[in-house]
């Protein structure tokens, strides 16, 4: 399913009766404009030339419509292997944004992260929204105030409540006791949390999609609200903390209008 086709040298959306050619493979496509599925172009042989295709939804179209037409469904081609794929959005700065409705395996995600060198994922999380629980607001984990501390986390990197220990305590033996916010140093953490205004969250995820949690490319969960939830990692002694950072949807869109870039969520992330 594709949104645009080449019709007599013009890039067109599907209209009843139109026929055109796929911008990727050059094969004939026909407009499908029924009452059930989203209007789209279909290959005559009933097989999409891009093996990474997924059915187009209104959610896809609504997200694409936030960006200029010339940024949508851009063709990426590996000149050595001949492999090509359609990116949902490609900005002039070389940032690829993929809007993903269905789940991907870890292997599939890795291959796409490697193919698109500067990739951001926006995930339609409405179907599993109820599986994710925001547990507690926390200070900005990347604030310099937090540098002396580790968050207490599970073996997966998640946490139900904000508990901390001093990194230097690890030098005094394997047993470390979490400390509450009851010292002058931890009072500063409380002040840092207040300034965060519920921007950063600990969370649990039932039936979790591990590929999204482990992605090296940034992943934003869209629950159908005005806010996106950015899955982030904070490297620390032992297991890294995985948390959510709230980003207003309008700010996410505007960020690319002013040619800024979200960094890749690797261990080399800078503080913000």
pLDDT tens per residue across span 130-183: 999 999 999 899 988 888 888 889 989 999 988 888 777 655 555 445 444 456
Percentage of residues in the chain with pLDDT exceeding 90? Answer: 35
Query: Does the pLDDT of residue 271 top 50, yes or no?
Result: no
Question: How far is 3 from 41, CA to CA, in rounded Å?
Answer: 6
Q: Taking the chain, what is the end-to-end CA distance rounded to the nearest angstrom? A: 39
Q: Go through the chain and tell me how many residues it has.
A: 272
What is the biggest distance separating any 2 CA atoms in the chain, rounded to whole angstroms?
Answer: 75
Q: What is the pLDDT of residue 169?
A: 64
pLDDT, average across residues 38-66: 77
Across the chain, mean pLDDT equals 81
Q: What is the pLDDT of residue 267?
A: 35
Query: Does the pLDDT of residue 61 top 50, yes or no?
Result: yes
Show the tokens assigned to 228: 């996106």
Q: Find residue 6's DSSP bridge partners.
A: 11, 21
Domain extents in the chain: 1-49, 53-272
Question: How would residue 259 be classed by pLDDT, with cut points 50, 70 and 90?
Answer: very low
Using H for helix, E for strand and C for coil, what is the string for the chain?
Answer: CECCEEECCEEECCCCCCEEECCCCCCEEEEECCCCCCCEEEECCCCCCCCCCCCCCHHHHHHHCCCCHHHEEEEEECCCCCCEEEEEEECCCCCEEEEECCCCCHHHHHHHHHHCCCEEEEEECHHHHHHEEEEEEECCCCCHHHCCEEECCCCCCCCCCCCEEEHHHHHHCCCCCCECCCCHHHHHHHHHHHHHCCCEEEEEECCCCHHHHCCCCCEEEECCCCEEEEEEEECCCCCCEEEEEEEEHHHHHHHHHCCCCCCCCCCCCCCC
pLDDT tens per residue across span 172-221: 555 445 444 456 766 777 777 666 667 999 999 999 999 999 999 999 99
pLDDT tens per residue across span 90-100: 998 899 999 99
Query: Does the pLDDT of residue 69 top 90, yes or no?
Result: no
Instruction: Specify the residue for token string 């002694």.
Output: 237
pLDDT, average across residues 40-52: 69
Task: Read off the pTM.
Answer: 0.78
Q: What is the pLDDT of residue 163?
A: 84
Question: How would residue 3 be classed by pLDDT, with cut points 50, 70 and 90?
Answer: confident
Cα 143-148-153 angle, rounded to 5 deg: 85
Query: Does the pLDDT of residue 53 top 70, yes or no?
Result: no
């Amino acid at each position: 399913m594709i949104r645009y086709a080449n019709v007599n040298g013009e890039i067109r959306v599907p209209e009843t009766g139109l026929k055109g050619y796929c911008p990727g493979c050059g094969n004939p496509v026909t407009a499908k404009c029924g009452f059930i599925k989203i209007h789209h172009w279909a290959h005559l042989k009933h097989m999409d030339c891009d093996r990474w295709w997924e059915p187009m939804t209104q959610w896809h179209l609504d997200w694409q419509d936030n960006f200029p037409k010339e940024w949508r469904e851009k063709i990426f081609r590996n000149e050595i292997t001949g492999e090509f794929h359609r990116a949902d959005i490609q900005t002039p700065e070389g940032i690829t944004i993929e809007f993903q409705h269905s789940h991907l395996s870890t292997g599939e995600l890795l291959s796409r992260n490697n193919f698109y060198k500067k990739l951001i994922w926006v995930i339609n999380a409405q179907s599993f929204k109820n599986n994710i629980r925001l547990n507690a607001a926390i200070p900005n984990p990347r604030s310099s105030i937090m540098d002396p501390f580790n968050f207490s986390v599970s073996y997966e990197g998640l946490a139900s409540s904000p508990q901390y220990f001093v990194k230097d305590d690890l030098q005094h033996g394997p047993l470390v006791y979490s400390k509450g916010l009851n010292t002058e140093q931890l009072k500063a953490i409380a002040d840092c949390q207040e300034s965060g205004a519920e921007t950063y969250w600990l969370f649990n995820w039932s039936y979790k999609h591990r590929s999204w949690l482990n992605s090296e490319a940034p992943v934003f969960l869209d629950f159908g609200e005005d806010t996106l939830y950015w899955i982030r990692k904070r490297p620390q002694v032992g297991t890294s903390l995985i948390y959510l950072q709230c980003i207003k949807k309008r700010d996410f869109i505007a960020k690319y209008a002013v040619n800024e870039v979200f960094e890749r969520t690797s261990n080399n992330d800078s503080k913000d």
